Structure 1
Amino acid sequence: MSKRKLILEDGTTLVGEAFGSERVTEGAVIFNTGMTGYQEIMSDPNYLGHIAVMTYPSIGSYGINRDDFESITPFINGIITKEVNDEPSNFRSEETLDAFMKRHQIPGIAGIDTRMLTRLLRDKGSMRGMITDASATFESVQEVLKKEETSLLVEKTSITKPYIVPGEGARVVIIDLGMKQTILHELTNLQCHVTVVPYDTSAEDILRFKPDGVLLSNGPGNPTFVQTTIETVQALLGEIPIFGIGLGHQIFAQACGANITKLNHGNYGNSFPVKDLAIDKTWITTQSRQYYVAEASIENTDLTVTFRSLNDDTVEGLKHKKFDAFSVQFNPEGAPGSNDTKYLFEQFIEMMKQNRVKNGGQQHA
């Protein structure tokens, strides 16, 4: 393996060994605390623009398979690890991690003290970084690392044309902000008739599909940039049941008048405890986020808090007081991680059924 450098915006420079693609990459460096799930992480659209530090010391031991992708192509900018295993042992493995990353032009750097790096990011906060050639210096790349996120990332992760997955149950429109495929699978497993539409689809066009409900998917980037979708949700509130997940949760909150704040180092992993305040139970959840809903901004809205983080006490779920609409910050589908909160999809189905009863059994016209 050839030598490579990881250079952070604060000047921290670490030398490691290349794996995957040897192209230069830069992005927001975050750490993921999951022990498994690197395939789902790389293909999760939430990770667009990110370089992930894997805190578990070795990745690649079970290779890459055809079943665990969250999108057709991977979105992650790069991977940082202590050790990469290039001899996978798993009956489903079809390709090594290194070969997969080479094929998809994903740079990786191994041989890094990930415990030290994780502590640095925890204490100083997430920062921009670059995986680059061994000859590079901080002075030569610092201007690039000063750049802040200004682009609308959902333009790169959302579909451009609607498509339908037929079913005999409730009719659901998913607004695709960077949807994980497991969300679609959860709805189709519940027999839903699903129409997936681009992030900038208008409320008028959505209602033409005569849905029973609308799901706002997960996705990457700064939620304050997605103004088009915020306006769509404002137009849909009170017209039809709404369920928001991840970025969809943050967009729902803004549509209702709440504000969004950035976390110091983000929450990335599959072991985050949250409390369901309605039933006083704690669940383990999967999360991939850098933003949260500022609780003080909820006071003058029609929102009420339904879930709360047991790590930092931040808002993890919301419900509208007047309309059939709710949202969660975490990933109820898991993938990777716990299935504790899959019941929320069933709650969404029940909400749509009850709304149809109120409307005399008719879908939205």
Structure 2
Amino acid sequence: MEAYLVFEDGEAFPGVWIGTPREVPGEVVFTTGMTGYQEVTTDPSYAGQIVTFTYPLIGNYGTVRGESESDRPHCAGIVVSECWQETGSGLGKWLDAHGVPGISGVDTRAVVKKVRENGGIRGVIASDPHPRVKEWPDPLSLQWVEGVSVKEPVSEPSEDSDAPHIVLLDFGVKASMVRSLTKRGCRVTKVPYFTDPKKVERLAPDGLLFSNGPGDPKALLPFLEGWVPLIRRIPSMGICLGHQLLALALGADTERLPFGHRGSNHPVREPSTGKVWITSQNHGYTVRTSSVDTSDWEITHLHVNDGSVEGLAHRHFPVFSVQFHPEAHPGPADAETLFDRFLEKIRKGKEVAVHG
């Protein structure tokens, strides 16, 4: 059955339906990972986006229990060159079970070129090459974070009574991010993004983690002022959207990248050591380099390809953040040590509190 990926300028790319045949609009993005399609589609950061996979064959190992980053796919839809459907747990059947549309047989190289040349561009997956879209998704809407954040606190206990207690502000957290903390012995409490900072403080956190999530970080500007008193005192780490929010809260600015960083092979350099890490990334916004006051911030990581800010550490407050994903599912584990740095910062903060 024929399907089309139609861009907002009217250009249409033909293919065939996979998943659930239904019309859906979204921001068209691309990811360069060779594997990890299950993790990508279930990553809440892709909410509202039509994800184009650059690797030519997708679905060849089916879907695997325990590999999802949330309870269901959150992307608006997917676009692939070829979808392998011969496994018992085929990708198309799995998408259909969750009501997610997709299109196969598309010239994905041409799609990627169009996105790269035009920047953030919207499109629709449809049965008609001339669909009429009544309303395009708005990245500045709070609906994206609202749709993926927990609605009430959720606790991940620890057997260790002295375990560090991490309160995780959930803007659309990946399951592997929580696992990275619990496997290090942490007790984790996920709280909704709108939680009153006073309630967060009453949870007695040893550290705060600001998670990844979808949409424009400036959609959350109304919440920033309330977080500042906490992050000035409590060791805090931000990842992806959380990185951008911490930067905004403490005086920096964000901007949209031309076509984003999405994939599991992005090189990031750490100036203090000269090391280059291969990282997993998924973001369309970045901290504006010119907005970073280096008397307050140290730029800890830079993207090798375009020089954009990939990491920050505050010089006066116990805050650091990274644009990439140290939990890296899918992707390499080069940066996973950042969770250990976070826990070391928490430990030192406790020592200072005890010994003055």
Aligned pairs for 1:112-123 (under 5 A) are 112-123=106-117
CA distance in 2, matches of 1:18, 1:341: 37
Aligned partner letter, 2:104: A
- Give the corresponding residue for 1:91: none
Deviation at 1:142, TM superposition (A): 5.4
Q: Select which of 316, 322, 325 maps to 1:328.
A: 322
Q: Is the 8 A contact 1:165 1:194 kept in 2?
A: yes
**What SS does the aligned partner of 1:179 have?**
coil
Aligned partner letter, 1:71: S
- Give the corresponding residue for 2:139: 149
CA distance in 1, matches of 2:355, 2:146: 36
CA distance in 1, matches of 2:226, 2:294: 21
Deviation at 1:228, TM superposition (A): 4.2
Deviation at 1:302, TM superposition (A): 1.5
Q: Is the 8 A contact 1:286 1:332 kept in 2?
A: yes
Aligned partner letter, 2:74: F
**What SS does the aligned partner of 2:334 have?**
coil
Of 150-159 and 36-45, more deviation after overlay is shown by 150-159
| 2:58 pairs with 1:62 | no
Deviation at 1:239, TM superposition (A): 1.6
CA distance in 2, matches of 1:283, 1:359: 34
| 2:157 pairs with 1:166 | yes
- Give the corresponding residue for 2:232: 238
What are the Cα deviations for residues 129-185 of structure 1, in whole angstroms up to 9, with x where unaligned? 00001x341xx425545x643421111110010011111221110000100000100
5+ unaligned residues in a row in structure 2: which ranges?
A: none
Q: Is the 8 A contact 1:229 1:251 kept in 2?
A: no
CA distance in 1, matches of 2:355, 2:113: 55
| 2:232 pairs with 1:256 | no
Aligned partner letter, 2:232: G
CA distance in 2, matches of 1:283, 1:300: 23
Q: Is the 8 A contact 2:237 2:319 kept in 1?
A: yes
Q: Select which of 120, 130, 142 maps to 2:124.
A: 130
- Give the corresponding residue for 2:304: 310
- Give the corresponding residue for 1:359: 353
CA distance in 1, matches of 2:353, 2:15: 62
| 2:200 pairs with 1:206 | yes
Aligned partner letter, 1:59: I
**What SS does the aligned partner of 1:108 have?**
strand
**What SS does the aligned partner of 1:236 have?**
helix
5+ unaligned residues in a row in structure 1: which ranges?
A: 89-93
Aligned pairs for 1:169-188 (under 5 A) are 169-188=163-182
TM-score, reference length from structure 2: 0.96
Deviation at 1:238, TM superposition (A): 2.1
CA distance in 2, matches of 1:232, 1:100: 41
- Give the corresponding residue for 2:189: 195
What are the Cα deviations for residues 74-105 of structure 1, in whole angstroms up to 9, with x where unaligned? 101101011000013xxxxx621011111101
Q: Is the 8 A contact 2:295 2:315 kept in 1?
A: no
CA distance in 2, matches of 1:148, 1:324: 34
CA distance in 1, matches of 2:135, 2:156: 42
**What SS does the aligned partner of 2:189 have?**
strand
CA distance in 1, matches of 2:203, 2:272: 33
Q: Is the 8 A contact 2:8 2:122 kept in 1?
A: yes
Query: Segments of 4+ in structure 1 off by > 4 A?
Result: none
- Give the corresponding residue for 1:36: 35
**What SS does the aligned partner of 1:347 have?**
helix
Of 295-304 and 153-162, more deviation after overlay is shown by 295-304
Q: Select which of 259, 264, 271 maps to 1:270.
A: 264
Alignment RMSD, CA only?
A: 1.5
Percentage of pairs with the same residue:
38
- Give the corresponding residue for 1:337: 331
Deviation at 1:212, TM superposition (A): 0.7
Deviation at 1:126, TM superposition (A): 2.6
CA distance in 2, matches of 1:107, 1:70: 19
Q: Is the 8 A contact 1:257 1:301 kept in 2?
A: no
Aligned partner letter, 1:197: V
TM-score, reference length from structure 1: 0.93
Q: Is the 8 A contact 2:140 2:215 kept in 1?
A: no
CA distance in 2, matches of 1:229, 1:333: 26
